[in-house]
């Protein structure tokens, strides 16, 4: 394989970079293998109810919308649980920075699948934050008190005792969580297809859980730098 050569690089640098390139190629192949296995999953569990959400309608007024309607013209629906419930004074900075990046991709994603961002706050509060943040492409939807977050781990209410201990959730308390869930509609049935469960899996010490890395441009850019991620975590504002 022919390799690039940058100005004034040493032979030691090129040898190390070539070895790293081999690892990067192997990682790319592994990502493709995992994606193929994901696509080949058997049908997931049937969604037990047509959850009713709330969104801003065409007349800029709140309207009720069923989960089945969120698919629009598509057979695939992606819901991302945004940690911005009514009990939160401030928006989750991790979720917010991720949605900053996804907003740009949403205009393209809509050509292939339906994508909506769900949170427990009232729709007016979500719409106000989207406007302030400049999210012009994202569709924010309120769970409006339905059971979606509980059923699909957008909160901690169905966590096992072990998971509660792992996430340090005190007994008698619950909070919202972040997770992607993908659903497939076929023959009038909606079934769960996949969820980003890796965010709840154990990690090695000092290891980032990396559950949403493939859709998060910030972490990918930081991984290109000499400093890496370090202990950096994004803020909602840097004033």
Q: 196: Cβ–Cβ under 8 A, 6 or more apart, which residues? A: 179, 180, 181, 211, 212
Domain contains 108:
yes
Asked if residue 120 lies in contact with residue 176, where contact means CB atoms within 8 angstroms, the answer is: yes
Domain contains 139:
yes
Q: CA end-to-end span of the chain, whole Å?
A: 48
Domain contains 75:
yes
Look at residue 212 in the predicted model and tell me its pLDDT: 83
Distance of alpha carbon 42 from alpha carbon 21, whole angstroms:
34
Local structure of 98: helix, strand or coil: helix
Domain contains 12:
no
Strand 52-56's sheet: what is its strand order?
62-66, 52-56, 140-142, 114-119, 76-81, 180-186, 189-195
Look at residue 215 in the predicted model and tell me its pLDDT: 93
Query: Total structural domains in the chain?
Result: 1
How many helices (H) and strands (E) are present in the chain, helices listed first?
7, 7
Domain contains 36:
no
For the chain, 239 residues long, the average pLDDT of each consecutive 10-residue run is 95 97 97 98 97 93 96 97 93 95 96 97 96 96 95 94 87 91 96 93 76 89 94 92
Phi, psi of 155 (to 5 degrees): -145, 180
Q: Give the pTM.
A: 0.94
Asked if residue 168 lies in contact with residue 177, where contact means CB atoms within 8 angstroms, the answer is: no
Look at residue 68 in the predicted model and tell me its pLDDT: 98
Which CATH number covers residue 162?
3.40.30.10
Domain contains 112:
yes
Domain contains 21:
no
Q: 10: Cβ–Cβ under 8 A, 6 or more apart, which residues? A: none
Q: How far is CA 53 from the centre of its chain?
A: 19
Domain contains 178:
yes
- Per the listing, tokens 């899996």 go with 201
- Domain of 98, in residue numbers: 52-199
Distance of alpha carbon 16 from alpha carbon 190, whole angstroms:
49
- Per the listing, tokens 């966590």 go with 159
Asked if residue 200 lies in contact with residue 167, where contact means CB atoms within 8 angstroms, the answer is: yes
């Amino acid at each position: 394989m022919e390799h690039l050569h940058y100005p004034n690089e040493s032979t030691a640098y090129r040898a190390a970079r070539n070895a790293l390139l081999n690892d990067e190629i192997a990682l790319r192949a592994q990502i493709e293998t995992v994606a193929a296995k994901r696509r080949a999953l058997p049908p997931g569990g049937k969604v037990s109810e047509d959850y009713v959400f709330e969104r801003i309608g065409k007349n800029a007024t709140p309207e009720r919308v069923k989960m089945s309607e969120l698919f629009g013209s598509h057979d695939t629906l992606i819901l991302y649980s945004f940690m911005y419930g009514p009990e939160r004074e401030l928006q989750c900075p991790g979720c917010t920075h991720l949605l900053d990046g996804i907003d740009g991709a949403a205009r393209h994603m809509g050509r292939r699948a339906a994508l909506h961002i769900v949170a427990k706050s009232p729709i007016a509060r979500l719409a106000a934050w989207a406007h302030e943040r400049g999210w012009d492409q994202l569709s924010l939807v309120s769970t409006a008190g339905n059971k979606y977050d509980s059923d699909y781990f957008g909160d901690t209410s169905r966590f096992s005792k072990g998971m509660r201990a792992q996430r340090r959730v005190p007994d008698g308390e619950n909070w919202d969580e972040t997770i992607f869930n993908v659903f497939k509609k076929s023959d009038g049935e909606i079934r769960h297809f996949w969820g980003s469960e890796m965010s709840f899996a154990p990690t090695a010490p000092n290891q980032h859980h990396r559950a949403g890395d493939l859709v998060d441009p910030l972490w990918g850019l930081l991984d290109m730098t000499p400093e890496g991620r370090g202990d950096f975590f994004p803020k909602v504002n840097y004033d």
